[in-house]
Amino acid sequence: MRTYPPEPFRIKVVEPVKMTSQAEREEEIVRAGYNTFLIQSEQVYIDLLTDSGTTAMSDAQWGAMMMGDEAYAGSKNFYQLERAVQEVYGFKYVVPTHQGRGAENILSRIMIRPGDYVPGNMYFTTTRYHQEANGGKFVDVVIDEAHDSEYIHPFKGNIDLKKLEKLVDEVGAAKIPYICLATTVNLAGGQPVSMQNMREVKEFAVKHGLKIFQDATRCMENAYFIKKREAGYANKTIKEIVREMMSYADGCTMSGKKDCLVNIGGFLALNDHDLYVKACELVVVFEGMPSYGGMAGRDMAAMAQGIYEAIDYPYLEHRVEQVRYLGDRLAAAGVPIVLPVGGHAVYLDAKRFLPHLAQDTFPAQTLAAHLYVESGVRSMERGIISAGRDEEGKHRYPKLELVRLTIPRRVYTYAHMDVVADAVIALYAKRDTIRGLRFTYEAPSLRFFTARFELI
């Protein structure tokens, strides 16, 4: 028997959730156009839409919220946040932003020129949007194994150095503003990158005069996998591992809504002073003063505290192993999921779950909708709808057609995970009855947020 760590916290405040009937949920999914993003949260029993901003904050974080210094400029909470980022991540300069995409916007505007290429270990929706909006072209350089949902690899988020080398040979280093290194890789299933790979990418970057920016959104979870899986790291602290990871980068963008254990916030961190000056010029245009960047003082205080809690080993172990618990239950029942299970979510493989549906009838979207109707569990499509259309207006057909069951941090118990597992297993037993979808509304960019569908 495998064991799982018990909750390293006790519950001080509770939020009752509503139990809905199947008839109510059938009505709601039609109202929401079969898009789980458009379901009202009050109609959801267990919300696994995202781990973004859905964290339960600690008593210490709520205490810090009361110490908000809401000065327009120079808030003491900014200096707390700056100190936390400098100490835990190791970068010199910190520019707060309202969330991760605010940092992506600033970084992309500073670094990318029309005609540039931005290599990355698999795309992320908002990251790629900002790269392309600034005239760059995203180039996927993740190892091939990342696109195979059944391939077992301890560091499935690694960059393929041969692909990187090929890109440099083809377009030249001058056309590559930076390498975008995501830790962990969200769209590959929350898969980590090894320290060895980061070191090799850094050597490559130095050789070719390239910069590296991490999308460090879930770097703590990545550090946990390094500690567990990579030789030489078992006795290192999470903080030591994170510092080493970041030592191979020139800076990072961060969505505080994930690893930093807050409901809103983000930052751009940098080592280069000239880039920092440029970032400050842009942050005042898009976010706010460089000492708040779209965040209230109290939110910066909560994030500064959250950064220290995020590197606490008992918290991190429970967080990642709870995700594994859900994955283990589904795998044991024969449900097709992405393996190995990643750090923040279990991904159902909708192509294998619903082999009778063509990808342009949106298997993952329809599976997410049916799971909600079955059980009140809300999940998210990460497949053809999220991938969007190419320059010619055609669907991009990603190899991975997934439904993401994302576990919020410190919110649900193992009993909740059992409810989710039972619902997915019940749906798998009647998968043959599930039909595909077609669009009734589609936005021109980031369509997954607002698209509407009907059953075919």
Ligand X SMILES: *Cc1c(COP(=O)(O)O)cnc(C)c1O
Of 71 and 411, nearer to ligand X (C-beta) is: 411
Total residues binding ligand X (CB under 6 A):
15
Residue 52 touching ligand X (CB under 6 A): yes
Rg (CA), the chain: 21
- Residue 104 Cβ vs ligand X, minimum distance, rounded to whole Å: 6
From candidates 124, 138, 325, 448, binder to ligand X by CB under 6 A: 124
Which residue of the set 124, 267, 372, 453 is catalytic? 124
Of 45 and 123, nearer to ligand X (C-beta) is: 123
Stretch that binds ligand X, among 255-263, 295-303, 307-315, 398-406 (CB under 6 A): 255-263
- For β-strands 46-47 and 377-378, DSSP reports them as parallel
Round to whole Å and give the CA distance between 220 and 50: 17
**Sign of the dihedral through C-alpha 341, 342, 346, 347:** negative
Q: Which of 314, 355, 309, 332 is nearest to 421 (CA)?
A: 332
Residue 186 touching ligand X (CB under 6 A): yes
User: Active-site residue 448, yes or no?
Assistant: yes
**DSSP string over 76-100:** HHHHHHHHHHHHHT--SEEEEESSH
Q: Write out the two tokens for 203.
A: 């050597």
- Scored b (16 or more CB within 10 A) or e, 424-439 reads beebbeebeebebbee
Q: Write out the two tokens for 258.
A: 């994930």
Residue 255 touching ligand X (CB under 6 A): yes
User: Active-site residue 138, yes or no?
Assistant: no
Residue with the two structure tokens 């290194």: 181
Binding marks (x or -) toward ligand X, 82..101, rule CB under 6 A? -----------------xxx
Among the residues of 5-137, which ranges form H helices?
A: 22-31, 59-65, 76-88, 100-111, 125-133
Stretch that binds ligand X, among 120-128, 286-294, 320-328, 395-403 (CB under 6 A): 120-128
User: Active-site residue 215, yes or no?
Assistant: yes
User: Active-site residue 72, yes or no?
Assistant: yes
Which residue of the set 51, 160, 215, 349 is catalytic? 215
User: Active-site residue 258, yes or no?
Assistant: yes
Of 33 and 120, nearer to ligand X (C-beta) is: 120
Determine how many CB atoms are found less than 10 A away from the CB of residue 393: 7
- Residue 218 Cβ vs ligand X, minimum distance, rounded to whole Å: 7
Instruction: State the residues that interact with ligand X by CB under 6 A.
Output: 52, 99-101, 124, 126-127, 182, 186, 215, 217, 255, 257-258, 266
Q: Which residues form the catalytic set?
A: 72, 124-125, 215, 258, 382, 448
